[in-house]
Structure 1
Amino acid sequence: MANTDPMTQRVELATVRDRLAVDGLVTEYAVAVDDGDWETYRALFTPDGRADYRSAGGIEGSARTVAGWLAESLGPYPVRQHLMVNRRVRFGVWEQDRGDTARVRADYVNPMCRTGAGGEPAEPEFVCGGRCVFAMLRTDDGWRLSGVVVRETWRRPTGRRTAPVVH
């Protein structure tokens, strides 16, 4: 039987909207990295937001600093695709938090390759995977990333020479 209490229905609807919003933020993050849209990447973060790519041979720092590093590091690999799966969403504890924080854990698989003759994608030079942990904060502009930690757990070359992997 459906709950007909208006207050409970509003809380349930707000929770569904928040879940969709934080899930969408993870997707926007992956698309920004894959498309090399560093302006959007930076805009996804809170002003003091940070990212940590050290497990993948990268750096840890402010979103602005990391976006610059990603732009340089990913430049040779214009073809990349982060597949974000197994997303687990947890919101802040209601008694201690007004519901304005969230944590999302998502596994990823990421093939990366250069372009071949004529600009066509070449065979991926490597495929890597692992887990991203996203810390999120509700702001006046909607949900934003306050932190991202990339935990690369594996990588597999595809037979060609590989370079340091970054996400």
Structure 2
Amino acid sequence: MPNTEPMTQRVELATVMDRLAVDGLITEYAVAVDDGDWEAYRGLFAPAGRADYRSAGGIEGDARQVADWLAESMRLFPMRQHLIVNRRLRFGILEQDTGDTAHVQADYVNPMRFAQDGAASAAPDFVCGGRYTFGLTRTYDGWRLSEVVVREKWRRLPEPAATR
């Protein structure tokens, strides 16, 4: 009877390495948005990668278009901090090779601080939350985003100042 243990161990190790790489890519996504590093943001996407922020009042388009829109709209929020949690990962099949695609569904909470005169203010936070869907593709350069879809479920806006 052939010993399949070394092959099984290699497959399991490869799966663990892919999980770590996908998790790292999702973290890099959050850091790029929070830090306003739009060049890094664009670099996370596969050449045909797209993002859809329409449920949060944004746009849908290719990574360049969306990065340009984010760069402009995030000026309102000089302080932002994504928290992406509850990541559920599934690997898929592309061209008959197991593991060439991945699908991640993850919840997020995103507190942001409004700008006042171009800087972070003491104004109350704007906080939103929802769920991301990330589509990923294995490329020669590693895992890249093929799709990002934001499904905003809730938001809390600052309460208006009390009138006297």
TM-score by length of 2: 0.89
Q: Does 1:34 align with 2:39?
A: no
Match of residue 134 from structure 1 = 134
Pair 1:155–1:142, CA change in 2 (3 A): same
Q: How many residues align?
A: 158
Aligned to 2:81: 81
**CA distance in structure 2 between the aligned counterparts of 1:120 and 1:157, rounded to whole angstroms:** 16
Structure 2 residue 103 is matched with structure 1 residue 103: yes
| Corresponding position of 2:72 | 72
Report the counterpart of residue 61 of structure 1 in structure 2.
61
Q: Is contact 1:112-1:124 (8 Å) kept?
A: no
Q: Which runs of 5+ in 1 are unaligned?
A: 162-167
The gaps in structure 2 that reach 5 residues or longer are none
Identity of aligned residues (%): 72
Q: Is the 8 A contact 1:89 1:105 kept in 2?
A: yes
Bigger relative contact order (CA 8 A; separation at least 6) = 1
CA RMSD of aligned residues (A): 2.2
Alpha-carbon distance change, 60 to 120 in structure 1, aligned in 2, over 3 angstroms = closer
Partners of 1:83 and 1:114 in 2: how far apart? 18
C-alpha distance in 2, partners of 1:97/1:8? 16
| 3-state SS in 2 of match to 1:58 | coil
The answer to whether the 8 Å contact 1:111/1:124 transfers is: no
State the TM-score, normalizing by the size of structure 1.
0.87
Aligned to 1:157: 157
Whether the 8 Å CA contact 1:79–1:121 is kept in 2: the answer is no
Q: 1:149 to 1:94 in 2, by over 3 A?
A: closer
Deviations 1:84-134 (A, max 9, x none): 0000010005995421000011100001113569x5653443100000000
Aligned to 1:164: none
**Hey, which bits of structure 1, 4+ residues long, moved more than 6 A?**
none
Stretch of structure 1 that moved more, 119-128 or 15-24: 119-128
| AA partner of residue 40 (structure 2) | T
